[in-house]
A and B are shown apart, each in its own frame.
Chain A
């Protein structure tokens, strides 16, 4: 599985969500097929709620992990949402 990592450090809502949505739209086919995992790195705490909510509503599995002062939001095919 390929991994596409997007650095969103310094960005806040709603820009973070719009970036995430654009990535999920652009790579929809690879994400749905399970050949790609999207990793969004953010330091905006609000994004750890808005992005997982939106991605789960779109049918993706989402997990959020804290990595120092940042958060790694992983989006891939599936239905599960873990925090």
Chain B
């Protein structure tokens, strides 16, 4: 062949053709290497191994067109990503609507305590400027402090990786119930924390006021000489006054486990139930006399009145206001 070429072409032409041939081979080699390299980059992106020469020789590399295959697949991935993005946008809009409509303040923090999302309610609750809230740390924005305060819900969640609830968290004189929930990645690490704040200031104030009133009534009942007791339908004592405890000798702890039926004679139980029924039917007040057993076994005759009262919206209880009949009789005689 070489001799044939030499006959047709001159020495210089032959050298030129051989050089050109070599250059074309090198170019083809570079192109195939380029295709192999780019195919491998795409395959690695898809999480698989690079091409092996025994599976795809240089000829198969062009015929099988792996770049074309992977590119088409990427087109499908992008189409699917667009669908996912649309779905995510809908989900995002739904979450925003839910955040806006709930009556509690909500903060979503990242693991570095930076605020990622919040609703209007939280701005109102803590008198915050919404424009500058994004990216601030929770302790800066809500607590106004560069460091985490004591009893910090975020810190507790990061420590325990569990949801927590603070029943009465106070900030700027207002009381909040705080429910915190961690969001974890597939390795169990906390990536975000959701904090929900319910303003319970009015409830706390109402409870405080109720306690004050209760104390007033308790002081009032404790200051009278008559014995006062409030008994439920099943005989449990809801309240007894100081005179009752002094007369019968039971301590407050003992009273909590005691039943009214334990300190009266059995035959009077049916009378008490009758009274209860009468009061439930609308009778305002009944009079009665009883014998009570003291802790040390003494029998003490008492008399007085009983009326119904409702405790906590539950079934009616009986409020007894009694006096020691023996002492009263003595007083009459002495008088």
Contact = CB atoms under 8 A, between A and B. Distances in A.
A65 interface: no
Interface residues of A, number: 19
Interface residues of B, number: 21
B69 A59 contact: no
Contacts of A15: 55
Contact of B83 (A18, A54, A59): A59
A54 B51 CA distance: 17
Interface string B34-72: 000000000100111111100100000000101001101
B76 A13 contact: no
Contacts of A57: 46, 77, 80
A58 B73 contact: yes
Contact of B69 (A18, A46, A49, A53): A18
A66 interface: no
Contacts, number: 57
Contacts of A21: 46, 69-70, 72-73
A18 B69 CA distance: 7
A24 interface: yes
Interface in B55-105: 55, 64, 66, 69-70, 72-73, 76-77, 79-80, 83-84
Given A14-B48, A50-B47, A59 B73 contact: no
A23 to B, nearest CB: 10
B50 A14 contact: yes
23 contacts: A12-B55, A13-B48, A13-B49, A14-B48, A14-B49, A14-B51, A14-B52, A14-B55, A18-B69, A18-B70, A21-B70, A21-B72, A21-B73, A25-B69, A25-B72, A28-B76, A50-B46, A50-B48, A57-B80, A58-B73, A58-B80, A59-B79, A59-B83
Interface of B: 43, 46-52, 55, 64, 66, 69-70, 72-73, 76-77, 79-80, 83-84
